[in-house]
């Protein structure tokens, strides 16, 4: 009787270790401190108008699902900052960034919707759906919810990374899945 229970316990331990080692593989986890430090560095590059370098770094975070990075990258493609203007990429990034439902972030999309032809908007909408599928809250393991804002009665809708293990975020290496 003790032998089957021992086998069951050992099997459970081995399966648990296997599961957690897979979930915590180094290529899919990044400690939160490093993640935030790298993101702040990328945003600082944008703030000091080093657009070319900022775009390279911010696009990494945009692919990881960071909504601020997605919005900035979308506006950079729209305004030709650090790159040539690309309305398709701009629309895609701005669409996925707007999963956060920030009112000000909807303005560039509204401007594009007002100025572009319907046929072109249909193509851009498909691109937006593609970006949501690849880089959206669900695929990049973000939790979106209404949160109270200090000094306001109106809640804000925020999307944040979910820790996969205490102190670590899920990050998918999406360089192989480049968007053309």
The mean pLDDT of 51-60, rounded to a whole number, is 97
pLDDT (tens digit per residue) in 65-93: 999 999 999 999 999 999 999 999 999 99
163 SS3 class: strand
Task: Read off the pLDDT band of 121 (50, 70, 90).
Answer: very high
Contact 165, 29 (CB under 8 A): yes
Cα 71 to Cα 53: distance, rounded to the nearest angstrom? 16
Residue 178 has pLDDT above 50, yes or no: no
Task: Read off the pLDDT band of 173 (50, 70, 90).
Answer: low
Q: What is the pLDDT of residue 80?
A: 98
Residue 147 has pLDDT above 70, yes or no: yes
The total number of structural domains that make up the chain: 1
Cα 46 to Cα 73: distance, rounded to the nearest angstrom? 10
Q: What is the pLDDT of residue 180?
A: 45
Task: Read off the pLDDT band of 145 (50, 70, 90).
Answer: confident
Task: Read off the pLDDT band of 174 (50, 70, 90).
Answer: very low
- Residue 20, domain member (yes or no): no
- Residue 46, domain member (yes or no): yes
**Average pLDDT for the chain:** 85
Q: What is the pLDDT of residue 7?
A: 63
Q: What is the pLDDT of residue 146?
A: 85
Q: What is the pLDDT of residue 111?
A: 94
- Residue 144, domain member (yes or no): yes
**DSSP state at residue 162:** P
- Residue 154, domain member (yes or no): yes
Residue 154 has pLDDT above 80, yes or no: no
- Residue 152, domain member (yes or no): yes
Residues spanned by the domain of 142: 29-177
The mean-pLDDT minimum among 21-25, 90-94, 153-157, 175-179 falls in 175-179
Contact 73, 55 (CB under 8 A): yes
- Residue 9, domain member (yes or no): no
Cα 129 to Cα 135: distance, rounded to the nearest angstrom? 10
Whole-structure pTM value? 0.79
- Residue 129, domain member (yes or no): yes
- Residue 167, domain member (yes or no): yes
């Amino acid at each position: 009787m003790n032998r089957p229970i021992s086998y069951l316990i050992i099997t459970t331990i081995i399966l648990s270790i296997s599961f957690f080692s897979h979930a915590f593989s180094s290529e899919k986890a990044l400690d939160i401190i490093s993640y935030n430090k790298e993101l702040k560095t990328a945003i600082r590059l944008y703030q000091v108008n080093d657009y070319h370098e900022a775009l390279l770094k911010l696009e990494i975070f945009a692919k990881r699902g960071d909504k601020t990075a997605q919005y900035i990258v979308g506006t950079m493609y729209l305004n030709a900052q650090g790159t040539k203007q690309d309305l398709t990429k701009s629309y895609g990034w701005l669409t996925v960034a707007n999963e956060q439902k920030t009112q000000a972030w909807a303005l560039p999309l509204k401007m594009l919707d007002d100025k572009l032809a319907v046929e072109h908007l249909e193509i851009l909408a498909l691109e937006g759906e593609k970006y949501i599928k690849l880089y959206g809250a669900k695929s990049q393991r973000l939790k979106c919810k209404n949160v109270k804002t200090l000094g306001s009665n109106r809640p804000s809708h925020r999307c944040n990374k979910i820790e996969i293990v205490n102190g670590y975020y899920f990050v998918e290496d999406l360089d192989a899945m480049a968007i053309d």
